[in-house]
Structure 1
Amino acid sequence: MANFNTHLNTAVIITGLSSAALLSAGHIDLNSALWLWFLGSIGGLLPDIDSDNSTSLDTIFNLFALCAVLIVMHYITTELIIQISFVELVVVPLLVYGFMKYIIRPIFEWITVHRGSCHSLLFILLCALLTTQVTWQLNDQTTMYSAIFAWLTGGFILLGGLIHLLLDEIYSVDLSNVEIKRSFGTALKIANFDNKLITLASVIAIAGLIYVAPPTMQTITLLSDWSRFKLIS
């Protein structure tokens, strides 16, 4: 299978080109392009989150913890409209980070197996839809662009994850010795049917996320129009 640097660099290049194409076509602004590029790069590491001793796991969980801190602080200051003190500004993020690192992460490591459910199309789709829903909920839902941007964030997570799975399958083929390694077929799979409970829970979660997902028509219409795209000025 491909290593951390290969996964990261390939995801950075492909998702960077993809976000640049959207920017060139006038579909998104620069800030959105940079955010989508970041999400696509993270998506390129996401399937290795089930490896207990991987650099991907450390990187992704640190980013998850950061996102959790930002979401909690956003909710407290914006939704609850609470003015918090300096001490609370320090203590609350530390509590959230500690919860993610010392409670959520060990539980996740305990229930996952490397090259298991996380190395599947079902898991990547679940992460993509979850990202779409979170983005949709955190933005102003009255604007047309919020639905478009929400779907694009999920799409880039999906793109990054697919890049990861494809790379692992490509690296499972030994071209020099013209043979297929034992790991072939363990990455790019629909789901981990050995763990039926997790697979069933994932399917139910995906169905629920699709049911409450933002409207798609604006996104389809936007991505169907590439008349403003310029390869060379």
Structure 2
Amino acid sequence: MANFSTHLKASIITSAALSTAILAVDLIPLIQVCGLFIIGSLSGLVPDLDADRSKSLNTLFSIFSLAVSAIVILSFNFDSLLEIWASLLLIYGFIHFAIKPIFEHLTVHRGSFHSLSAVVLVVLTTLNLAMWLNFSITLAVLSAIYVLVGYLTRVRS
């Protein structure tokens, strides 16, 4: 069985190959290809989210904490730096000590995340999110394709 590093390298290689093809046909700007490369590389880690102690799971919840924190900081007016730090600590604590244990309890490693239905769900969620974020249809579909290729690379490696 391959480890975290091997899975990440495999998804990086496939994303790099896909990015090269996209650049060769000049379909979208370079900066967007770079973003797609990152998305494709990280999507190779998605199948391991159901492993309770995986690097992928810890990374996901750290990124989720950071994203929620950024949304809160940018959405509300705070009167002091202390309020900001208290909010950040509460968000981190809630996500890591309330939501993450529930997620770990509800998932089984090599269970649903290693199925074709999970691939379809993640790819369609990516497409939906990209459209919701007002990506062009080309960029939205390419985002979904990168996730598909990265995810399938991980499941097969």
Task: Give the TM-score category using the shorter length.
Answer: 0.7 to 0.9
User: 1:46 and 2:36 equivalent?
Assistant: no
Q: TM-score, normalised by structure 1?
A: 0.60
State the 4+ residue runs in structure 1 displaced beyond 6 angstroms.
none
**1:45 and 1:60 in contact (8 A); partners too:** no
Identity %: 40
| Residue matched to 1:155 | 145
Q: After superposition, what is the alpha-carbon deviation per residue over 1:71-112, rounded to whole angstroms, capped at 9, x for unaligned?
A: 5556x2xxxxx5555635544444333332222211110000
Return the letter of the residue paired with 2:150: G
| Residue matched to 1:95 | 90
| Residue matched to 1:110 | 105
Return the letter of the residue paired with 1:164: R
Return the letter of the residue paired with 2:153: I
Q: TM-score, normalised by structure 2?
A: 0.85
**How many equivalent residue pairs?**
156
| Residue matched to 2:29 | 29
Q: Please identify, of 153-162 and 104-113, the stretch whose mean Cα deviation from structure 2 is larger.
A: 153-162
Q: Summarize the alignment of residues 62-81 of structure 1 with structure 2, pairs less than 5 Å apart.
A: 62-73=62-73, 76=75
- The separation in 1 between residues aligned to 2:136 and 2:72, in whole angstroms, is 20
Distance 1:161 1:30, change over 3 A: same
- The separation in 1 between residues aligned to 2:91 and 2:139, in whole angstroms, is 27
Gaps of 5+ in 1: 77-81, 140-144, 168-233
* Secondary structure, counterpart of 1:113 in structure 2: coil
Gaps of 5+ in 2: none
* Secondary structure, counterpart of 2:31 in structure 1: helix
Q: After superposition, what is the alpha-carbon deviation per residue over 1:31-79, rounded to whole angstroms, capped at 9, x for unaligned?
A: 21111111111110110110111222222222233333345556x2xxx
The structure with the largest alpha-carbon Rg is 1
Q: Summarize the alignment of residues 64-213 of structure 1 with structure 2, pairs less than 5 Å apart.
A: 64-73=64-73, 76=75, 83-84=77-78, 87=81, 89-139=84-134, 146-167=136-157
Name the structure where helix makes up a greater proportion of residues: 2
Q: CA-atom RMSD, angstroms? A: 2.2
Specify which structure has the bigger relative contact order, considering alpha-carbon pairs within 8 angstroms and separated by 6 or more residues: 2
